[in-house]
Amino acid sequence: MLEQSAIDALRVETLSARGHFIDGRSVDAGDSRALDVVSPIDGQVLTTIADGTPAVMDRAVAVARAAFEDGRWSRLAPAARKKVLLKLADLIERRALALTVLGVRDNGTEINMAYKAEALSAAATFRYYAEAIDKVFGQIAPTAPDILGLVHHAPVGVVGAIVPWNFPLMIGAWKIAPALAAGNSIVLKPAESASLSLLMIAELAAEAGVPDGVFNVVTGKGAVVGEALALSMDVDILVFTGSGATGRRLMEYAARSNLKRCYLELGGKSPNIIFNDAKDLAQAAKVSAAGIFRNSGQVCVAGSRLLVQEDIHDDFVAELCRHAEAFRVGDPLDLSSQIGAVHSLPELEANLSFVEKAASEGAERATGGDRILTETGGYYMQPTVMTGVKPQDTLSQQEVFGPVLAVTHFKDEAEALRIANSTVYGLAAGVWTADLSRAHRMVAGIRAGVVHVNTYGGPDMTVPLGGVKQSGNGHDKSLHALEKYVDLKTAWIQL
């Protein structure tokens, strides 16, 4: 159980300037400048991180390539890699509170959520892939009697990973753990505004026994070191979670360089559909409010479009607004806070501009919509519900990535499905109904990678997460994630 006194002791620790992590050790920024790390809790500078250059990134990639080629990790038996990754999971678990507080100071997620979704989730992810890797086999093809056709799983080589600021440990682990388990080397580029906890993970990996050069972290601006990583001729695949605009650039860089494979988990504008026959509308309202407002709406699968059948619309929205107004927004390191900070001032300003835009297009504020707690110096916003939002409106079509919910009513199942599929995104969705046949029809009809039925959020490591349409390609989580990090190699043997 989390204790406030332990959290408070960690929150006041002075943080030293951080360098990159390359070849098993922290390295100075060299000729690059330092970047300030500003806490969204109070708007104050926490520390600095190295502002990497293309030369630094090239060095990290070269180190990762050398480590892969000499086999110090790639040619270890799966059971040996498993032992190291299990130790890493134990170390993460042992340092879970320190990792969590460090991450919350960096990105503003409320600590009750961050402790489970970040540190403990990362430990579980490393443990999952450690346990899986010696249980994943190649195949024997059904060929002629005098031929032996074997399909081997070979590590791809050097993995370039770029991860976002909203859940850096969780999403980072989704990429690092299967990549390492499969025998690859990795160069990780964290978000420049949320690098601290991932730098600590790299240190713990070295302590666990991951060989020098196998796991490297380069910090800095995406337009500089992220571009250098994507353009590198020595990176074999690129995995990314973030915006569609950046994803497009990464695909261009891949084409301009060595045609490296790109796996992209991009934005979402996920519909959460409430039918009038839902078994428990009060529970649906409670869960739907959490599904958009936790972590200040900064969740890729957030149910940011609420579609409500018209005959229950007013009562349902009123109930949801009661939940929204009851959330305690405040210091994310205070255990009594239910919603923390918006990640940065630019993000907060963008959220507020979406509210203004929605109002200009005819939507109405049912609740929220303002910046609050300005006296703290931090970046906080009320949970916001906008009603009367039309399917073609900006708030229906563009990802906000903040605590702003667009509410639209519908007449029947056909209209709900049409509205649900009316954006360029296809990451997640929710359906609330007591009709089993309708639930199956909606799961089949909604174009999304994940469809929740009578719940929202919560799928664990046993199932994949990925998007369709402009929400990306490839999958994180589950055994399917390993498919990104291996090449299939055929051996055709005449007997």
Q: How many Å is the maximal CA-CA distance in the chain?
A: 79
Cβ atoms of 337 and 40 closer than 8 Å:
no
Q: Give me 359's structure tokens.
A: 């109002």
Q: What is the tally of helices (H) and strands (E) in the chain?
A: 16, 21
Q: What is the CA radius of gyration of the chain?
A: 23
DSSP string, 113-169: HHIIIIIIHHHHHHHHHHHHHTT---EEE---TTEEEEEEEEE-SEEEEE--SSSHH
Q: Give me 415's structure tokens.
A: 């209209």
Amino acid (one-letter) located at 95 = R
Catalytic residues: 265
φ and ψ of 369, to 5 deg = 105, 0
The span from the CA of 331 to the CA of 431, in Å, is 33
- Between helix 96-107 and helix 196-208 the angle, nearest 10°, is 160
Which burial class, exposed, middle or buried, applies to 489 when counting CB atoms under 10 A from its CB (0-12, 13-18, 19+)? exposed
Q: In 255-320, at which residue ranges do the beta strands (DSSP E only) sit?
A: 261-265, 271-274, 305-309
Cβ atoms of 40 and 206 closer than 8 Å:
no
| Closest CA relative to residue 261, chosen from 285, 239, 287, 279 | 239
Put residue 270 in one of left, alpha, beta given phi > 0 → left and psi -120 to 50 → alpha: beta
**How many CA atoms does the CB half-sphere of 1 hold within 13 Å?**
2
Cβ atoms of 207 and 45 closer than 8 Å:
no
Please count the other Cβ atoms lying within 10 Å of the Cβ belonging to residue 141: 12
Interior angle at CA 286, CA 410 and CA 414, nearest 5: 20
DSSP string, 326-353: HS-B--TTSTT-SB---S-HHHHHHHHH
Cβ atoms of 103 and 96 closer than 8 Å:
no
Q: In 194-312, at which residue ranges do the beta strands (DSSP E only) sit?
A: 215-217, 237-241, 261-265, 271-274, 305-309
The span from the CA of 63 to the CA of 72, in Å, is 12
The span from the CA of 195 to the CA of 346, in Å, is 18
Cβ atoms of 465 and 450 closer than 8 Å:
yes
